[in-house]
Structure 1
Amino acid sequence: MNTISLSHEEIEALTAEDVKQLAERLDQDDYNSPFEALQDWHLLRAISFHNWELVEPYRHLLDVEAFDEA
């Protein structure tokens, strides 16, 4: 899967199993280069914008924090 060129429709078509496999790769952090990890991280982030429910169990991989800028 070439994650950089996934379209909006392809991202929306990803299943819970697809997201689980992506999250497992990120969690294991066994990549040949940091760029491969970054590519998967960006995909997980993109999926979160389209379907947060699929990504929610793996939110710790995104380091999403609420910011109080008041």
Structure 2
Amino acid sequence: MTLGGLCFKEYFCFKVPGLPFQPLLLAALWFCLQIDADLASKILATLSSLLFLVVSIAKWRMPRHFDIGDKTKYDV
């Protein structure tokens, strides 16, 4: 669920369609796993993993100094 929240935050950087719904997809996936809904859990897991893959590739391509954010917070 923490990664789902991170994906929601990263939507504001990368504007990947569907990314704000990642926490809901993961919650629905957990629910489907609890009630043994195999087909639904496979579909939700596939959608979630594709969104995670897209975000991972976008983060990997981003220059490192962009990820630091407000550099004044790190001044001593």
TM-score range, shorter chain: 0.3 to 0.5
Flag the structure with higher helix content. Answer: 2
- Does 1 or 2 have the higher relative contact order (CA < 8 Å, sep 6+)? 1
| TM-score normalised to structure 1 length | 0.46
TM-score by length of 2: 0.43
Structure with max Cα Rg: 2
